[in-house]
Amino acid sequence: MKKIGILGGTFDPIHNQHIEIAKAAYKKLKLDEVWILPTKLNPLKTNISATTEQRIAMIKLAIQDFSWLKLNQYELTTKEKVNYTIDTIKAFQKKYPDTEFSFIIGSDNLLSLNKWKDIHQLITLVKFIVINRPNFQPSISLMEKYHCQNLTLELPNNISSSKIRTGENIDLLNQDVINYINDNLVYYKERLKFHLTNERYQHCLNVGETAKKLAIKHHENPEKALIAGTYHDIAKQWPKEKLINYLKQYYPKGLSAPFNLYHGYAGALYLQHHLKYQDKEIISAIFNHTSGAVKMTKLELIVLLADKISPERNYSGVNELRKLAQKNLTLAFSKYLEILKVSLAARKLPLTEEFNSIYQTWHKKQVK
């Protein structure tokens, strides 16, 4: 008889501890396979952040190196809005009569088994395998009550999926999964809202969409523009001390620049070193989005201009700048530098050597 262990959950996202649990069950219980069983919506949870398609894609990437680890999409394909384990197990036993199933749960779930649909019937159909979770010592009485088998596994401190989604615990993810999350803007809401107020969050969304539209207009990669625009201000509201410390660690040279440029540098470095973005064009576009540079790629121009002309902007000259940005990125950036120069003079702020160099370089391009 074939022996299969089932590891169910929302997998939002699937992380390294899921894989370690599957490995332990596979080896110690001598299973033939372990099935990853994502659900549409856990009856005991309120929502799921990633789409079904995104969760499937991340699971496939996480398990691709393990032939015995399979993705089972049964609960994602049923008509029911909410799946119950007992219905799934009955369906599996009917379809695979010569298979012995085990259902793998964490010790924290032991306390809520009484809330599972038809739990007393369910424990006669399948054996529960309880994995010790940090800070959740399994109750012997509950283990006996539900006829569970304990599987001891040394796990790190309890993992919070919400902290993975915000980017705090990204090291708990497979690099392929990280790349997928980054390339597809999965969890962008959680990541941005962890750092920003609602107003600044909305600005980032506006800039992302504006950058994407400009990229399409000027035949640049719209997805890269969307990503860079969406994350361009992720460090905008960091405390001053945090910005300084981040630049000390990753870009000490930047400390000599005006303080209003720090967040652009820090945001780019945060994506590179913390969120593990590997696309240098996206990182560079965020790095230069505040003041620009003497030499700029088309993507860098698009993200900078998207920031300056996003829908909520209403300063003098912005409508003209919006029209120019649709026609010619070089002329639009030159015009923005003129607007900025007038604004700095009105506020009696000094023009830095770097600004003058950027201004003169792009003004010459405008004249040509």
- Over the chain, what is the mean pLDDT? 93
Is the confidence at residue 292, as pLDDT, over 90?
yes
Q: Which domains does the chain have, with CATH numbers?
A: 2-158 (3.40.50.620), 187-367 (1.10.3210.10)
Lowest mean pLDDT among 158-172, 189-203, 273-287: 158-172
Mean pLDDT along residues 164-175? 95
Confidence of residue 368 (pLDDT cuts 50, 70, 90): low
- The stretch 128-154 carries a mean pLDDT of 84
Question: Is 231 a residue whose pLDDT tops 60?
Answer: yes
Residue 116 has pLDDT above 70, yes or no: yes
pLDDT reading at 172 higher than 90 = yes
Q: Is residue 362 pLDDT above 90, yes or no?
A: no
φ, ψ for residue 121, nearest 5 deg: -80, -40
**Inter-residue contact 121 to 86 (CB < 8 Å):** yes
Q: Which three-class secondary structure string do you get for 15-46?
A: CHHHHHHHHHHHHHCCCCEEEEEECCCCCCCC
Q: Name the least confident of 107-111, 193-197, 251-255.
A: 107-111
Q: How far is CA 345 from the centre of its chain?
A: 41
Which residue did the predictor score with more confidence, 202 or 364? 202
CB atoms under 10 Å from CB of 325, counted, come to: 25
pLDDT: which is higher, 193 or 45: 193
The confidence score (pLDDT) of residue 134 equals 65
- Is pLDDT above 80 for 46? no
HSE, CB side, 13 Å, CA atoms: give it for residue 11.
32
Higher-pLDDT residue of 137 and 160 is: 160
**Per-residue pLDDT at 114 exceeds 70:** yes
Buried b (16+ CB within 10 A) or exposed e, 273-282: eebbbebebb
> If pLDDT is split at 50, 70 and 90, which confidence band does 8 have?
very high
Question: What confidence score (pLDDT) does residue 3 get?
Answer: 97
Residues in CB range of 302: below 8 A, 6 or more apart:
211, 214, 215, 218, 220, 225, 229, 285, 329
Least confident of 18-27, 129-138, 196-205, 279-288: 129-138
Tell me the pLDDT tens digit for each residue of 296-333: 999 999 999 999 999 999 998 999 999 999 999 999 99
Give the rounded percent of residues in the chain with a pLDDT score beyond 70.
96
Which pLDDT score is estimated for 82? 85
- pLDDT at residue number 133: 72
Q: Which tokens belong to 111? A: 């306390």
Alpha helices in 4-155 (DSSP H): 16-28, 52-63, 74-77, 85-95, 119-125, 140-145
Cross-strand bridge partners of residue 136: 133
Confidence of residue 19 (pLDDT cuts 50, 70, 90): very high
Cα atoms in the Cβ-side hemisphere of radius 13 Å centred on 302: 29
Q: What's the pLDDT band for 135 if we cut at 50, 70, 90?
A: low
Strands 127-131 and 2-9: unpaired
Residue 81: band (very low, low, confident or very high) from pLDDT cuts 50, 70, 90: confident
Q: DSSP secondary-structure letter at 72?
A: -
pLDDT of residue 154: 75
Residue 178 above 70 pLDDT? yes
Q: Which residues pair with 128 in a beta bridge?
A: 103
Task: Report whether 266 contacts 192 (CB < 8 A).
Answer: no
Which of 3-12, 84-93, 158-167, 255-264 comes out lowest in average pLDDT?
A: 158-167
